[in-house]
Every structure is written in structure tokens, then in C-alpha cells.
Structure 1
Amino acid sequence: MSERSVHGVDVGPETRCAHYHTDRDVVAFRLACCDRYYPCYRCHEAVADHDAVPWPRARFDEPSVLCGVCETELTGPEYLESEYACPSCDASFNPGCGAHADRYFET
């Protein structure tokens, strides 16, 4: 099991951060390099001392996305197929995160 705390810059209780803080910025992504959740790639760049490594395809059956509203952990495929809403609590996720999917998930 991963550590469920979320690391980054000015991370709030629902995983919003200094870089992304709209009502829909409520997910955190687990990165393979350090097995920690971050609200965004920019937070990882700011606080980690190494390059980010996206979640590997071989581990897509393991949770790698955290809903900041209900704390449900999702696999990458569950998140990518969720149509930008948590399947557990229906919180809306920011569709703009899709533009950075390659930073979070191995393609």
C-alpha cells in the first residue's frame, strides 16, 4: 500500500496545490519513482530531488490516483475511464489534467 499523504507545495485538504487550485483540482497522482502522491507534476519538480517517473503500465492494476474529496484510490485505467468524475463520490475532476497524462502514466 502506498503512503496516502499528498506531497507538494501548499497542498490543501482536498489535494489542491499552489499550482492548481480550482474547484475541480481534487486528485493526486502516485509516481513510481518515489511511491508518493503529488497533486501535480510541478509539485514533484518543486519538492523532489529526482526526475519524475510515471506509473508503469505493468502496475496499472494498482492504485495510482487519489480522490482528494473522498480519499478513494483509483487505478490509472479507472481514472482515465472516469470521464473526469470520481466513481465513488461523483466529485468533478479537472479535465485539463488529461493534457499531462503522459507525466503520470506510462504510455
Structure 2
Amino acid sequence: MNMSKCEIKGINVDEETRCDHYHTEKDIIAIKFKCCDTYYPCHKCHDEVADHKPVLWGREEWNEKAVLCGKCRSELSILQYMNCQSSCPNCHASFNPGCSNHYHLYFEG
């Protein structure tokens, strides 16, 4: 299990990766944006903070660690995240199942 101490950029990010845009109890992931190798809680934070347009992770890159659990700080591969059924495979914290509606904003598919 890889416990990351990486910085998470965004708008009013809390200790579990919630931001101004998404801040329910289950909004506890951050996604590493391929374009800048930086974690953000959401696409809206990236749009507001970064000085460039996002680049999607290609299907061939889904084994890359690009999702951070805000509860235990484990880094998950994109494929692990997509297959985790909205629960961290390491600490079992619940993720927001609605995030799957936004995969197209981060991952090619």
C-alpha cells in the first residue's frame, strides 16, 4: 500500500480532499491530472487553478496510480478505482458513487 504525502491543489481543500465544489462525507478522492502530474479534488478545481486545459488518461494508462484516497492516502491505479465499487480497497472508506458519472472528464473510455 502506497501512502502518499503529495500536495493536493484546489479551492479550499480539506484534509480528506473535499473542496468547494464537492464536499459531502463521501467526496474523499483526488485525481492526478495527467497534464500536470498534480492531484486535484475535481475537474472544477483544475479548471480554476491550473493555467492549461486538462488531458485525459488514455485507456492504455489505466494501470497508472492516479487516484488518491482522502481517508488513508493510498494511491490507486485508475483501474483499481474504477473497479472498487465506491469503496477504498485499502481502508474501506466509502467514496461518492456519483463520481463515476464524471469518468469521461478524466479518463478516455
TM-score, normalised on structure 1? Answer: 0.94
Aligned to 1:80: 82
CA separation of 1:99/1:43 partners in 2, compared to 1, >3 Å: closer, same or farther? same
Tell me the distance in 1 between the aligned counterparts of 2:29 and 2:104: 16
TM-score, normalised on structure 2? Answer: 0.92
Structure 1 residue ranges, 4+ long, deviating more than 6 angstroms after superposition: none
Q: Within 5 A, what are the aligned runs for 1:9-28?
A: 9-28=11-30
Contact 1:28 1:68 in 2 (8 A): yes
Aligned-residue CA RMSD in angstroms? Answer: 1.4
> For residue 90 of structure 2, what is the amino acid of its counterpart?
S
Question: Structure 1 residue 64 and structure 2 residue 66: aligned?
Answer: yes
What runs of 5+ residues in structure 2 fail to find an aligned partner?
A: none
Tell me the distance in 2 between the aligned counterparts of 1:87 and 1:96: 18
Q: Within 5 A, what are the aligned runs for 1:1-107?
A: 4-107=6-109
Tell me the distance in 1 between the aligned counterparts of 2:73 and 2:93: 11
Percent identity, aligned pairs only? 49
Matched length: 106
